[in-house]
A and B are shown apart, each in its own frame.
Chain A
Amino acid sequence: QLRLQESGPRLVKPSETLSLTCNVSGGSIRSSSHYWGWIRQPPGKGLEWIGSVYYSGSTYYKPSLKSRVTLSVDTSKNQFSLKLNSVTAADTALYYCARHLLYTSRQFDYWGQGILVTVSS
């Protein structure tokens, strides 16, 4: 059974960089059929896709976040990572990592449990 687990600092200061890692177990991140993505959910609000990365390092991002986001993958550790710079209180959210298909469907079939990140001084 595939498992995804987010990790990283839960408190980040304004203007600094939020860094999270998603560890994948029970399967390989080198899947030729899947992307690995990040989705966030501000408290009490809906889901927002941030971006996704392929095991080769190919990425695509939500346009409005693209200038602040960097996604990367470490196949040797079976992990992928999110960096979001210049954070503000508006970036406070529950951050999920998840897997989706490479092709036109792109549904998220496995999700991590989420990690709450608060932006505050």
Chain B
Amino acid sequence: SYVLTQPPSVSVAPGQTARITCGGNAIGTKNVHWYQQKPGQAPVLVVYDDDDRPSGIPERFSGSNSGNTATLTITRVEAGDEADYYCQVWDSRSDYVIFGGGTRLTVL
């Protein structure tokens, strides 16, 4: 079965750039989506189809996807960005949806 691997945690100082990776076999051939989940809240889609942003999501959030790694990049990190982030794909071969294990972003 297809597996998505994320680092458990990433820490960054305010104003700096955070990069959260999502690894998977040939993930560059799939559409990757990213969700932000703050404590006690439902996940929110922040990036879809590798690098598109839903309306209302700041331009500070961006994504890239190539080879075996997809990356969510958050520039000019703010305290309010502290949350868990999940990547997600659809595995067309097996026809099911997969989430990564999640990464906790800590703003120092």
Contact = CB atoms under 8 A, between A and B. Distances in A.
Interface residues of A, number: 23
B48 A107 contact: yes
Interface in B79-108: 86, 88, 90, 92, 94-102
Interface residues of B, number: 25
B43 A46 contact: no
A37 B97 contact: yes
B96 A105 contact: no
B1 A105 contact: no
Contact of A49 (B54, B99, B102): B99
Given A104-B90, A107-B48, A60 B96 contact: yes
A108 B99 CA distance: 11
A72 to B, nearest CB: 19
B97 A49 contact: yes
Interface string B30-63: 0101010100001111001100001000000000
Interface string B1-24: 100000000000000000000000
A49 B98 contact: yes
Contacts of A61: 96
Nearest to A35: B97
B86 A47 contact: yes
A105 B33 contact: yes
Contacts of A37: 97
B45 A109 contact: yes
Interface of A: 37, 39, 46-49, 52, 60-63, 96, 100, 104-109, 111-114
The 3 closest A-B pairs by CB, nearest first: A107-B33, A106-B90, A49-B97
25 contacts: A46-B99, A46-B100, A47-B35, A47-B37, A47-B43, A47-B88, A47-B99, A49-B97, A49-B99, A52-B97, A61-B96, A63-B94, A96-B43, A100-B97, A104-B90, A104-B92, A105-B33, A105-B49, A107-B49, A108-B33, A108-B35, A109-B48, A109-B54, A111-B42, A112-B42
